[in-house]
Structure 1
Amino acid sequence: MVDDSRRNLFKTLLAGAAVAPLSARTVAAQPVPQGPACANSPTSPSWGRGLEGQRKADLGDGTFLNPIVSGDHPDPTILKDGDDYYMTFSSFYSYPALIIWHSTDLVNWAPLGPALTESLGCIWAVDLCKHGDRYYIYIPADPDGSGWSIYAIWADDIRGPWSRPVDLKISGCIDPGHVVGEDGRRYLFVNGIRKIRLTDDGLATDGDLEPAYQPWQYPQDWVVENFAPEGPKLLRRGDWFYLVTAVGGTAGPATGHMVIAARSKSIHGPWEHCPHNPLVRTTSVEEPWWSRGHATLVEGPAGDWWMVYHGYENGFRTLGRQTLLEPMEWTDDGWFRATGGDLSRPIRKPAGGKAGAAGFPLCDDFSHNRLGVQWAFHDPAPNERERLEYRDGGLVISASGRSPLDSAPLTCIVGERSYRAEVTLDLLGDGAEGGLLLFYNHKAFVGLGFTPQQSKTFQYADELPWMRKEIPTKSVRIRMTNQDNVVTYHYSHDGGKNWVLHDHRMEVSGLHHNVFGDFLSLRIGIYSAGEGSIRVRDFTFVAV
C-alpha cells in the first residue's frame, strides 16, 4: 500500500527529428494572423469539428469517422451500464489518473473526471467493470519501480468518490480482465493468458495464479513485434464464454498488433480458437490505422454489436494510440467477425443511441481554483500538488528542478494533427524560469523557455546554448504551432499584439514509442523550474 503522503495527492483536483532553421534574422514586432482563441476552425473535409475545431467522430448525418476518442487514449476498457456507456484508458505516468468518459451512443464521448488521485506510479491497461451495484477498476501499477502488481479501487457511484487502492498482491502481472464464472465466482484473467480467483468482494485473491489459455498462433512469416499475449477481455453470451486477446505486440511494426478470440462453455476451459482469427489486424502500411488491437466487445443501444480497440494513426504515432470503434456481427456458428472494412471511410452509427456531449474544451483562463480535467502532471512526486496555487488571476506553479529535464511539467493530451496553443507566463522572482513544451518524456521534448534575463531553446531534451538570447522580461506570451509535426514558436511581450518569430523550427514526427519507449504521446507541457514561481494565464487552443 502506498504511504499516507500519497493519499492526498491531487485530492483537490477532483472538481472538475531534424532541424529546419529559418533566417538568422528574427522577425521582430510583426503581427501574425490569428483566429479567435477558442472558436471553431473551418470544417475538415473528413472529420466533423467540435469545440475549438477539434476532431469530432459524429458527422451529423447518421455516420461517424474514427477515432471516437482522439489523442492518446490506449487500452480502452468499456462498460455498458443500462443506457449508459463508460470508458477509461491507460494513464501511465499522468496524475490525476484514470479519467472516466461517458457516452449514450458509443460515438460521442465526454469526460466525467478522474477515478484515481493517489499516485501508483506507472499504470497500464486497466479493467472497468460492475458487479452487483458496485463499480470496480482493476489497475496494474508499479508504484516504486520495483515491479508490477494489480490494485483495485471501487465506488458505489461511477462519478465517485472512489476508494483508496487495495493491493491484490498479484505480482508481475498486467492487463486484468474481470469475469464471473459459471460457478458464480469472480476471476481475473491477466497477460499470459493466466487466471486467478477472487474473493466475493473482489478485493483479494482466493487461489493461485494458473495458466488459462494458450493463444492462437499466427503464421511465423508475419511481421510482428513479438507474440505478447495480453489484454484478455471476457464476455458471457448464451452458453459460451468468449475470450478476446491481443497478440503480436502493441507497437513495433505497423502490422504487428492484432485481435484474436476463443470460446469455452466453462471459464476453466478447454478453449476453442476462433476460425476467423485474426479478427482485426493491420496488413499494410497504406492503411489509415496501424497496430490495431486490445479489443473489447460491447452491445450497442439497439442490440447490435461493436468492437472497441486502439490504434496508431498513419503518420502520427506522436498522438499515441487512439480509440477506434468497429461494427461486428455474430455468425451462424456462434462466432463473430469485424465488418468495418476501410476505417478511413465513414461508418453507420450504432442504432438506437442518443447523441450526447463530445469532447471538451482545452482552453483554460486559470481564473478558477479548479484544475481542468485536461491537465495532469507527468510522473509527479507525492507532494507535487503543493506546487500549485491559484492567485492574482492565474495558476502559480512553484519551481521544481533546474530545467524541463528534471521538473514535472503540467501536460495536456492533444488529439489533432495540427493545432496552435498559446499561454501567458509571468516570471515571479529573479530566478524563475518557465516555458511551453511539446513533451513526450524527460528524454524527448522540444520547447521554448524564458527567465527574466534570457530565452532558452530546447530540442529533443537538450538545451541549445548557442540559441540563448538576452531578452529581459517579466511576462511573455508564447505561441506554439504544430503543423503536421513541424513546430514553430512565436513570442510576444505586449500581450499578443505584436509577435516575434523564433528563428528555429523543429520536426517532431520521431518523438514516439518506437524511438523512446514508454507507450506515451507528444503532449503540450508547461514547466516551472529554477527558483521562484511562474504564473500561468490565458491558455488557448485551436485546431488549424
Structure 2
Amino acid sequence: MERRDLLKAGAFAPLVSALSVAAAANRRPGIEGQRQPDLGNGRFLNPVLSGDHPDPAVLKDGDDYYLTFSSFDAYPGLTIWHSRDLVNWQPRNAALQRNIGSVWAVSLEKHQGRYFLYIPVKAQPKNEIYVIWADHIDGPWSDPVPLGLHNHIDPCHAVAEDGSRWLFLSGGDRVRLSEDGLSVAGPVEHVYDPWRYPDTWDVEGFSPEGPKIHRHGGWFYMITAVGGTAGPPTGHMVIAARSRSLHGPWEQHPGNPLVRTQSAGEAWWSRGHASLVEAPDGSWWSLYHGYEAGFWTLGRQCLLDPIEWTADGWFRMTGGDLSRPIRKPRGGQALPHGMALSDDFSAPLALGSKWTFFRPAADEAGRIRLADGALHLAGKGLAPSSGSPLLLTAGDRSYQFECDVELAPGATAGLVLFYDDKLYCGLGFDAQRFVTHQYGIERARPVNPHGRRMKLRVTSREHIVAFHTSGDGGQTWRRFDRGMEVSGYHHNVRGGFLALRPGLYAAGPGECRFRDFRYRALGA
C-alpha cells in the first residue's frame, strides 16, 4: 500500500492531516526547486518560504520588505530576502560572512537611515550577542561587534517614546543601548513576566523567547513565543502584551495564546515566534514559523497569517491552521519568487543566497574554484563529518538531486542528506569502492565499478531514500543496493534546531570536480 493510500486509510492520521494533503495537491508549480506560494488567483498558500526558514525577522522599509532567519551553522549566513507584496520573496546577499558560532533568532532594524542586525550566537567558550550594521541592505556589513550579553538570546531592537534605544531579550528582560546602537548603556533589567499556559497542555517548556516590539495606535505591543520551539506539536505558541510606554507596565492580551497548534491533526505544528508587519494595502499580517505536519526534517518553515485590529485596541490572528488558501494582501509588486536549486556552475557560485558551508573555517571559500564548466572543490577531512559539506535548503516533501562527480587521485566525494556532523546519510566513492553514509557514520564499502567519475542520484520520497549511479553520463542508471528511511533525522531526535539538507562533499587530497547539479521536486 502506498503512503498516500495509508493516509486515506488513516494509518498516518497523527502525522499528516487531510487538509495538508489537499493543500499540497493544489499548489502551483513555481521556480524549479522552490515551492510557489502565490496561487495566481489573488490567493496564496503557506508556507511563503518553504524549507528551513526559522525565527523570521521582518523589516518594512518604504515599499520594500526585508526578511531574514536564524542561520545557525550555515555560512555565509543571514541571507536577506526581499519582497514588495509579502508573498513573493527573492534572496539577496548574505549579511554575515565570518563564522562566529551558531546564529539564533536575530533582530533586523533600520534606525536613522542605517540598517542593524542584532545577532545572538551559541558558541564556545561563551555565548554572545553581536551587532553588525550597513548603510545599504545589500551591504557591505560591518564586522561583528560583541555587546557582552552572555545569558540571553533573541534580541529585539526597540525605540522608546523618549527616543532611547533598547534591546528586549529572552525571559522578559531588556537592556539600554548607546545612541549609536553599537554598545550597551546600562545593566540588564527584568521588565515583563510572560503569560503562562495551563499546566495540562503538552509543551516542551516555558521558554519565553523571541520578543518582538511593534508600535501602533498609541500602544507598544510585545509579542513573545512560549512553550518551546519544538517537542510536542502543540507546544510552541504566540502570546502578546501591550503598554502605553516602552518602559511598561505591560498588560497581558486577554486572548492569549493568539496562535497555537491545537492537535497533531493540523497541517502546521509548533507555530510561533511571530512578528507583525503592515502590507502595501494597509492591512496587517504576522510572519512566524512552523513545522509541516510529519516533516520535522524540513525544518521550521515561514508562514504568513492575517491579523485584525479590534475595537479595544488589541489584535487577533485569523488564519486558523493555515492549511487553506488565503486572500493575498493587495497592492505592491509580485517579484519572481525563490530561486532554482539546480546549478550548472557556469556563473559565480551563489554562496549565501543558495549554497552554504556547514561550520566553515575562516578560509573555507578558498576551497572553491569554478573552471571548465565545473565546480572544483578542494577536499577536506575524511568524511562529511569533518569536511564542511556544501549544502542548500530544500522545501519539498519529495525531491531528487543528481550530479556528475569526478575524483582527484586519492580523494573521496559524493552526495549527502545532511543534518549535522553527527547525523547524515548519503553515498560517496573513491576510485575502488563506494562508501555508504548512514546515521552519521560510514558503513558498507562495496566495489565501485565506475572508477573515478560517475553520476550520482539521490531520491527522497517522503523520507524514503534511494541512490542510483551511472557510469555512462546518465544514459543508464543502476540502483544502489542500500535504501534508507530518514524521518528521524531532525531536531527532536538530534537537537540543534536544524533541517535535513541536500548537498555535496569532497574529502581527502586534491580538488574534486562537480558538474551539472540538478534538483527537482517530485509529485505526491
- Give the CA deviation at 1:260: 0.2
2:42 to 62, 68, 76: 62
Name the counterpart of 1:511. Answer: 489
Matched residues in 2 for 1:136 and 1:146: separation?
Answer: 25
AA paired with 1:206?
A
Structure 1 residues 91-100 or 394-403, which shifts more?
394-403
Judged with a 3 Å threshold, the aligned counterparts in structure 2 of structure 1 residues 53 and 366 are, in CA distance, closer, same or farther, namely closer
Matched residues in 1 for 2:24 and 2:359: separation?
Answer: 35
- Give the CA deviation at 1:406: 1.6
- Give the CA deviation at 1:44: 6.2
Name the counterpart of 2:61. Answer: 81
1:98 to 57, 78, 90: 78
**Contact 2:34/2:50 (<8 A) preserved:** no
Matched residues in 2 for 1:367 and 1:348: separation?
Answer: 39
**Contact 1:225/1:252 (<8 A) preserved:** yes
Matched residues in 2 for 1:119 and 1:267: separation?
Answer: 34
Matched residues in 1 for 2:402 and 2:152: separation?
Answer: 41
2:103 to 110, 113, 123: 123
Matched residues in 2 for 1:300 and 1:184: separation?
Answer: 26
**Pair 1:522 & 2:500 matched:** yes
Name the counterpart of 1:308. Answer: 287
Matched residues in 2 for 1:257 and 1:536: separation?
Answer: 41
Matched residues in 1 for 2:458 and 2:168: separation?
Answer: 44
**Contact 1:456/1:469 (<8 A) preserved:** no
Name the counterpart of 1:159. Answer: 138
**Pair 1:364 & 2:343 matched:** yes
- Which digits, 9 at most, give the CA deviation of each residue in 1:211-242, with x for residues without a partner? 02000011111110000000000011122110
Matched residues in 2 for 1:217 and 1:119: separation?
Answer: 36
Structure 1 residues 468-477 or 301-310, which shifts more?
468-477
AA paired with 2:504?
I
**Pair 1:455 & 2:434 matched:** yes
- Give the CA deviation at 1:519: 0.2
- Which digits, 9 at most, give the CA deviation of each residue in 1:368-391, with x for residues without a partner? 343452100001112212222222
Name the counterpart of 1:408. Answer: 388
Query: What is the alpha-carbon root mean square deviation over aligned residues?
Result: 1.3
Aligned residue for 2:136, secondary structure, equals coil
AA paired with 1:74?
P
**Contact 1:454/1:472 (<8 A) preserved:** no
**Contact 2:160/2:245 (<8 A) preserved:** yes
Structure 1 residues 165-174 or 301-310, which shifts more?
165-174
**Contact 1:433/1:533 (<8 A) preserved:** no
Name the counterpart of 1:218. Answer: 197
**Pair 1:502 & 2:480 matched:** yes
Aligned residue for 1:114, secondary structure, equals strand
**Contact 2:56/2:288 (<8 A) preserved:** yes
1:153-192 matches, within 5 Å, as: 153-192=132-171
Matched residues in 2 for 1:469 and 1:530: separation?
Answer: 19
Matched residues in 2 for 1:52 and 1:385: separation?
Answer: 26
Name the counterpart of 1:469. Answer: 447
**Contact 1:306/1:327 (<8 A) preserved:** yes
Matched residues in 1 for 2:111 and 2:427: separation?
Answer: 49
Name the counterpart of 2:31. Answer: 51
AA paired with 1:417?
R
Aligned residue for 1:55, secondary structure, equals coil
Name the counterpart of 2:226. Answer: 247
Name the counterpart of 1:427. Answer: 407
Matched residues in 1 for 2:218 and 2:372: separation?
Answer: 63
Deviant stretches of 4+, over 4 Å: none
TM-score between the two structures when normalised by the length of structure 2: 0.93
Aligned residue pair count: 499
Aligned residue for 2:158, secondary structure, equals strand
Q: Return 5+ residue gaps in structure 1 as ranges.
A: 1-42
Name the counterpart of 1:382. Answer: 362
- Give the CA deviation at 1:98: 0.4
- Give the CA deviation at 1:472: 4.8
- Give the CA deviation at 1:468: 2.0
- Which digits, 9 at most, give the CA deviation of each residue in 1:409-453, with x for residues without a partner? 001110011111011111011x11000000001111110001011
AA paired with 1:262?
A
Name the counterpart of 1:139. Answer: 119
Name the counterpart of 1:17. Answer: none
2:179 to 200, 209, 212: 200
**Contact 2:156/2:213 (<8 A) preserved:** yes
- Give the CA deviation at 1:402: 1.1
- Give the CA deviation at 1:330: 0.6
**Contact 1:150/1:167 (<8 A) preserved:** yes
Name the counterpart of 1:284. Answer: 263
Aligned residue for 2:386, secondary structure, equals coil
- Give the CA deviation at 1:498: 1.0
Identity %: 55
Aligned residue for 1:385, secondary structure, equals helix
AA paired with 1:317?
W
Q: Return 5+ residue gaps in structure 2 as ranges.
A: 1-22
Matched residues in 1 for 2:169 and 2:156: separation?
Answer: 6
- Which digits, 9 at most, give the CA deviation of each residue in 1:79-123, with x for residues without a partner? 011111100000000001100000111000110110111111110
Aligned residue for 1:345, secondary structure, equals coil
**Contact 2:391/2:503 (<8 A) preserved:** yes
Name the counterpart of 1:10. Answer: none
Matched residues in 2 for 1:369 and 1:241: separation?
Answer: 45
Matched residues in 2 for 1:305 and 1:543: separation?
Answer: 32
**Contact 1:90/1:124 (<8 A) preserved:** yes
AA paired with 2:381?
G
Structure 1 residues 104-113 or 51-60, which shifts more?
51-60
Aligned residue for 1:192, secondary structure, equals helix
- Give the CA deviation at 1:169: 1.2
Aligned residue for 2:384, secondary structure, equals coil
Matched residues in 2 for 1:44 and 1:183: separation?
Answer: 48
**Contact 2:33/2:521 (<8 A) preserved:** yes
AA paired with 1:418?
S
1:430-441 matches, within 5 Å, as: 431-441=410-420
**Contact 1:54/1:542 (<8 A) preserved:** no
Name the counterpart of 2:330. Answer: 351
